């Protein structure tokens, strides 16, 4: 539709109702520098020139070459049927529909998604999805605070740094306390949990890729009357014990690895699955199965109302939507792969990561692999981690997420492998690492 700006008559009428004489008077409280700042925009382009410009920008994104990037997002096989079905017009929405009488297809698909996530995590109740893994972690903490009436959250440093940043932002806003458990030898130690703690949050595999003693951590949380929140990588659940099996009250995470491609960081979706005792505290949408007036199977939003999410301080959450389409992509993907296919992907990822670690050790590179890991691990490097990653990129190899200084590993990067990693990819990375190490030795000698 055409854009129709306000006429002078419209503006004069609105100003009269407001009680000011001019637009300048209306915005007089704003600093003058902000009222009409200069915007350095290039001249407009016609359609042909614009398309050529966009193609040139797109060409800068090099997606070819071996890929060992991880740190929260990984490349995995996605069958063609996943995008084909998820992109059907009846599914292309980012919103859970209110009107069941016109949206049975989307509601049923969402119900199937919830069922799959419940089966994967071993917990009975999943919502329709969250915005992302980080906000899911924060929402789990808020749930625990509401449920227990306590005001302190204990979180492992093994939880993704970005998730912890979001968590800190949420808790700061409500003046709740947050304490971080420092890793000991790359994993979370089993330490006492105070009686003032609402929940203990642990990621498995942790941010560095290593497996946590998750059952023992859940036990120590419950001994103090706290909830245990397991932040999990969903693909790993095809092989590892589920959060439900180890006693978690809440399972959260990011679903990118089970059906969403890598698209410059997004979009993806978060998930949250809880025990039945916590169902009334579950944020976001929940699709339930019922019967219509004719006794036929039907699907509706249940136990939730929009009003619950817009009551300001009385609301359980500010989550009043979700990432519907990307969650449905995961549902289609899980259905296409099936349990056996998902397990095959997970097994191949683990095998390739361990093959990579073995190749590095053979080449004399000291990967930190003494602790059990899934498909990612840390590698100390002989120079600045950001420079190291750039040197790999110059060789068309995508690898080396820098490990933040808080982990105390010095110059180190994360390396990840998946079922898509080939023997040639591993050989190319090892060759590049040898070259970079040889180049760094003179620099190290000069520094000494």
For residues 74 and 418, the answer to whether their CB atoms sit within 8 Å is: yes
Confidence at residue 313, expressed as pLDDT on a 0 to 100 scale: 62
DSSP symbol at 284? S
Q: How many CA atoms lie within 13 A of 445 on its CB side?
A: 6
Q: Position of tokens 């180890």?
A: 246
Look up the pTM and report it: 0.86
Regions of the chain short of the pLDDT cut 70 = 1-3, 63, 94, 96, 304-314, 318, 320-321, 441-448
Rg of the chain, C-alpha, whole Å: 25
Confidence at residue 446, expressed as pLDDT on a 0 to 100 scale: 43
Strands 270-274 and 287-291 turn out to be unpaired
The phi and psi torsions of 122 (rounded to 5 degrees) equal 75, 20
Three-class HEC string of 40-83: CCCCCCCHHHHHHHHHHHHHCCCCCCCECCCCCCCCCCCCHHHH
Confidence at residue 443, expressed as pLDDT on a 0 to 100 scale: 47
Domain boundaries, the chain: 80-333, 338-447
Confidence at residue 444, expressed as pLDDT on a 0 to 100 scale: 47
| CA nearest neighbour of 229 among 144, 310, 152, 303 | 144
Fold (CATH) for 80-333: 3.40.640
- pLDDT tens for 378-388 read 999 989 999 99
Burial 125-151 (b: 16+ CB within 10 A, else e): bbbbbbbbbbbbbbbbbbbbbbbbebe
Confidence at residue 125, expressed as pLDDT on a 0 to 100 scale: 97
- pLDDT tens for 395-422 read 999 999 999 999 999 999 999 999 999 9
The phi and psi torsions of 129 (rounded to 5 degrees) equal 125, 165
Report residue 35 CA to chain centroid gap.
37
Helices (H), 317-384: 324-362
For residues 366 and 119, the answer to whether their CB atoms sit within 8 Å is: no
- 326: Cβ contacts below 8 Å, ≥ 6 apart: 129, 255, 259, 260, 267, 268, 269
Instruction: For residue 97, give the 3-state DSSP assignment.
Output: coil
Cα torsion angle, 198, 164, 127, 94, sign: positive
Joined tokens for residue 49: 């020139």
Q: How far apart (Å, rounded) are the C-alpha atoms in residues 147 and 141?
A: 10
CATH of span 338-447: 3.90.1150.10
């Amino acid at each position: 539709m055409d854009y129709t700006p306000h006429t002078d008559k419209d503006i004069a009428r609105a100003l009269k109702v407001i009680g000011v004489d001019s637009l300048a008077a209306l915005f007089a409280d704003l600093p003058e520098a902000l009222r009409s700042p200069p915007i350095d925009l290039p001249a407009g382009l016609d359609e042909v020139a614009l398309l050529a410009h966009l193609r040139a920008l797109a060409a800068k994104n090099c997606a070819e070459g071996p890929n060992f990037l991880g740190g929260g997002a990984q490349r995995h096989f996605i069958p063609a049927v996943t995008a084909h079905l998820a992109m059907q017009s009846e599914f292309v929405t980012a919103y859970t529909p209110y009107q069941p009488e016109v949206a049975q297809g989307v509601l049923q698909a969402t119900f199937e998604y919830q069922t799959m996530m419940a089966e994967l995590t071993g917990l009975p109740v999943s919502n329709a999805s969250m915005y992302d893994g980080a906000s899911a972690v924060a929402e789990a903490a808020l749930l625990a605070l509401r449920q227990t009436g306590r005001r302190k959250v204990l979180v492992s440093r093994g939880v993704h740094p970005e998730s912890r940043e979001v968590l800190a932002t949420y808790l700061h806003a409500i003046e709740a306390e947050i304490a971080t458990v420092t890793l000991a030898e790359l994993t979370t130690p089993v330490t006492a949990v105070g009686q003032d703690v609402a929940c203990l949050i642990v990621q498995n595999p942790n941010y560095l890729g290593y497996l946590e003693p998750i059952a023992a951590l859940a036990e120590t949380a419950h001994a103090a009357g706290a909830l245990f929140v397991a932040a999990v990588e969903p693909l790993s659940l095809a092989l590892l014990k589920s959060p439900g099996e180890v006693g978690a009250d809440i399972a959260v995470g990011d679903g990118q690895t089970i059906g969403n491609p890598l698209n410059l960081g997004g979009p993806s979706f978060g998930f949250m699955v809880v025990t039945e005792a916590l169902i009334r505290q579950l944020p976001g949408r929940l699709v339930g199965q019922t019967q219509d007036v004719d006794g036929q199977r039907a699907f509706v939003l249940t136990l939730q109302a929009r009003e619950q999410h817009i009551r300001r301080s009385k609301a359980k959450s500010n989550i009043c939507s979700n990432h519907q389409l990307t969650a449905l992509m995961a549902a289609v993907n899980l259905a296409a792969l099936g349990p056996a296919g998902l397990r095959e992907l997970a097994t191949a990822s683990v095998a390739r990561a361990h093959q990579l670690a073995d190749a590095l050790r053979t080449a004399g590179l000291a990967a930190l692999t003494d602790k059990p890991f899934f498909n990612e691990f840390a590698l100390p490097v002989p120079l600045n981690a950001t420079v190291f990653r750039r040197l790999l990129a110059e060789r068309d190899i995508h690898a080396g997420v820098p490990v933040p200084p808080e982990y105390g590993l010095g110059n180190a990067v994360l390396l990840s492998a998946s079922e898509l990693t080939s023997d040639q990819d591993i050989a190319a990375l090892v060759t590049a690492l040898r070259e970079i190490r040889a180049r760094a030795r003179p620099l190290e000698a000069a520094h000494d």
